[in-house]
Amino acid sequence: MQTAEASITQKITAEEILNDYRIGWESRQASLAGRKEVFMGKAKFGIFGDGKEVAQLAMAKYFQNGDFRSGYYRDQTFMFAIGELTLQQYFAQLYAHTDVEAEPSTAGRAMNGHFGTRSLDDEGQWKNLMEQKNSSSDISPTAAQMPRLVGLAYASKLYRQNPDLQNLKNFSVNGNEVAFGTIGNASTSEGMFFEAINAGGVLQIPMLVSVWDDGYGISVPAEYQTTKGSISEILAGFQRNSEGEQGYEIFKVKGWDYTALCEAYEAAVRVCREQHVPVLVHVEEVTQPQGHSTSGSHERYKSKERLEWEAEFDCLKKMREWIIDSEIATAEQLDQIEADAKETVRAARSNAWSEFSAAIKEDHEEALKLLDELAAASDHITEVATIAEELRKTSTPIRSDAVRAVRKALRYVRDENNAAKRDLIGWLEQAMGENADRFNSYLFSQSDESVLQVEEVKPEFDENSPVVDGREVLQACFDAMLARDPRVFAIGEDVGFIGDVNQAFAGLQEKYGELRVTDTGIRECTIIGQGIGAALRGLRPITEIQYLDYLLYAIQILSDDVACLQYRTKGGQKAPLIVRTRGHRLEGIWHSGSPIGMILNSIRGMHVLVPRDMTQAAGFYNTLLKSDEPALVIECLNGYRLKERIPNNIAEFTVPLGQPEILKQGTDITVVTYGSMCRIVLEAVKQLEEFGISVEVIDVQTLLPFDIDHVITDSIRKTNRVLFADEDVPGGATAYMMQQVVDGQGAWRWLDSKPQCLSAHAHRPPYSSDGDYFSKPNAEDVFEAVYEIMNEADPKSYPTIY
């Protein structure tokens, strides 16, 4: 473990030092001003980076074009220092300005302190990331920035070691890019932190982790957070003892010691950049002058002695003392810098508020004008005028105030027909459309590479198409993907040497090398993070979660990071990650493989594909590789040994998303299902035919997106009855499908019988084939569910069985 010694380095000029001091003071004043804005009601919430300024100034000195940050909401000074955040943008985010030009990090979609740079142009295409300093888009969950950090650093390793990637100059220069991660000391207690640290050490990647240690996690002191009270002490075993040994370099440095911080970061970044060795920089004795956030006060839980120490060791105070003692500047000069900083912040805050409120004011005044006109023309003048007056009294209006008032007013004039009402309806329609763009757009890609823009290419077969195990169809597909696109790589437990537990990658590591087909440890969360970070840097990872049940280890990262990435950046960043897993019909409590409802409700913003066989899965993989969107592909666990034909165009054919397939035509009832249930339903349908019941069977194929062209409703229009079947728990994916069809598609109009669901039992299946039979739907269950619906419709033709 290295302890940086404080000494004046000749590499930093007086001008640079004073510029750093200016940035630090502007950042501090921004924090103070931001807190006041919240308490004045001009912003909802505030969380700030005061107390961490000097450490972040030092770190920023060694952050180069092409480097990536994966940090958290205390890093405002760093963002100011690298030139990727202006003071006006800082306040625009505090106010939630929805203009992406004013607030480029999130377009007002995330609270303040959530930083990000725009990796994509207005068309959704990659910029040259080597010409800018990059920050991946922040998220709030503690330590959740760490899995992504692993991937950002891992991409540098791939770019350096894989010669086939050398031509991708917009994404890397020989893998020299360092991934900078930041985290608070309390968040190092999270499992994601330890998993990421271990993964970084195993992979030996240029990952530089800075821990801002202020001794607390909100109100909880370090002794309740960290063994020995020191993260660097408990991670000391990761320290490499010689240059040839794998491990970390670990630095400890005081957060108020400017020169020691500069020396520490200079050394740390050099090790990362040149040697691809991960580094931990433990920055101790930082402070948090305003407490955790505007939600509370730190005076409630810090002792008088602690508060006095924090005032004495405030990093900007100590930097000022050092500058004066070193005769770099006089007290009077620093006083002027501080005064100028305060005025600069005041002007930026005023400009940000003026720009934020101006557009809202325009809408507000237009709505008032139209309401006044409606009142004058309406028989309900009192009601409409009262609504207008209430809106007029709103001191700091937001967009919803005007929309709410207009919608209320239109209730009273519902039976009237005049020009004023038509004008108001026109205003409302336009406002709702504009606000849909501000607040509801970019859940998915809106670029030309959207998955819905990928052209369908049918699989081609002839008499010579070989009949093979399903796994061999996938193997041929992955072989072709790896051959045609050097950006593609696959990682996961057992994926490499043995070619995954079901052999879909068998022999491909030997053919393409360990960089392309790679084993990982048992660490689902950071397998996904490794893929997210690499995808953010232009690569095309396939990350495997060995069984669907294990997705729970990674669901938080999928939900909070990749699924909402396009949304929270309003199309500014993308991570086209393919997550591969397998589920359905395996036996056992922890291998039941069908928590679909949980997945659907957690990862909106990703596509969820549920192919019934490996040919469909292969087509989906080809489709996804042509798109710029993330997806989860759930293969059927019991399908790898079933026989299928390999398409002659295995590398080219695609399966469109959101397009169900009718597996069997029928006239009496529609059964909607997916995955392994398709085979069970088709088996039951054969039995039902013996009793004169004609069943139309539809495989939805993808749950997100779901039946874009309303194929299912077209079927119900013919059959007038429907059963939704799957093996999730009751109220899970069957309820989702019913809502999509009956409510969303309006299929209720065509139903002559109550729509019904057939699902598994509420518990997980016990081990054994009997456990599976009595826990999940089987052919007999499907038969009886369909028969019961037909019995209710025509009891004479279909008398009760039991």
Residues marked active site are found at 591
Tokens at residue 62, please? 């060694």
Any idea which residue has 């002794």 for tokens?
Answer: 223
φ, ψ for residue 227, nearest 5 deg: -55, 135
The Cα-based distances of 260 to 59, 251, 322 in angstroms read 11, 11, 12
Using the 8-state DSSP alphabet, how is residue 646 labeled? P
CB burial of residue 676 (10 Å; 0-12, 13-18, 19+): buried
Q: How far apart are CA 556 and CA 554, in angstroms?
A: 6
Beta partners for residue 3, in sequence order: 252
φ, ψ for residue 505, nearest 5 deg: -110, 15
Q: How far apart are CA 735 and CA 729, in angstroms?
A: 10
* Residue 128 CB partners (closer than 8 Å, separation 6+): 169, 170
Element at 663 (helix H, strand E): strand 661-664
- Asked if 116 and 573 touch (Cβ cutoff 8 Å), the reply is yes
Comparing C-alpha atoms, which of 432, 403, 402, 397 is closest to residue 95? 397
Q: How far apart are CA 62 and CA 652, in angstroms?
A: 45
Q: How far apart are CA 605 and CA 444, in angstroms?
A: 6
Q: How far apart are CA 305 and CA 299, in angstroms?
A: 11
Q: How far apart are CA 671 and CA 778, in angstroms?
A: 14
DSSP readout, 34-57? HHHHHHTTSSS-----TT-HHHHH
φ, ψ for residue 220, nearest 5 deg: -95, 120
What's the start-to-end Cα distance of the chain, in Å? 76
The Cα-based distances of 504 to 277, 353, 594, 623, 702 in angstroms read 33, 56, 21, 18, 21
Beta partners for residue 208, in sequence order: 180, 279
Nearest 5°: CA angle at 400, between 397 and 404? 110
735: left (phi over 0), alpha (psi -120 to 50) or beta: alpha
The Cα-based distances of 27 to 53, 228, 685, 734 in angstroms read 7, 32, 68, 52
Rg over alpha carbons for the chain, rounded to the nearest Å, is 30
φ, ψ for residue 626, nearest 5 deg: -85, -5
Q: How far apart are CA 476 and CA 535, in angstroms?
A: 23
Q: How far apart are CA 547 and CA 586, in angstroms?
A: 10
Beta partners for residue 699, in sequence order: 661, 673
Helix (H, G, I), strand (E, B) or coil at 279: strand
Comparing C-alpha atoms, which of 399, 391, 445 is closest to residue 99? 399
Q: How far apart are CA 551 and CA 528, in angstroms?
A: 10
Q: How many Cα atoms within 13 Å fall on the side-chain side of residue 372? A: 9
Any idea which residue has 């200016």 for tokens?
Answer: 22
- Asked if 578 and 618 touch (Cβ cutoff 8 Å), the reply is no
Using the 8-state DSSP alphabet, how is residue 137 labeled? P
Any idea which residue has 């010669």 for tokens?
Answer: 163
Beta partners for residue 283, in sequence order: 212, 253
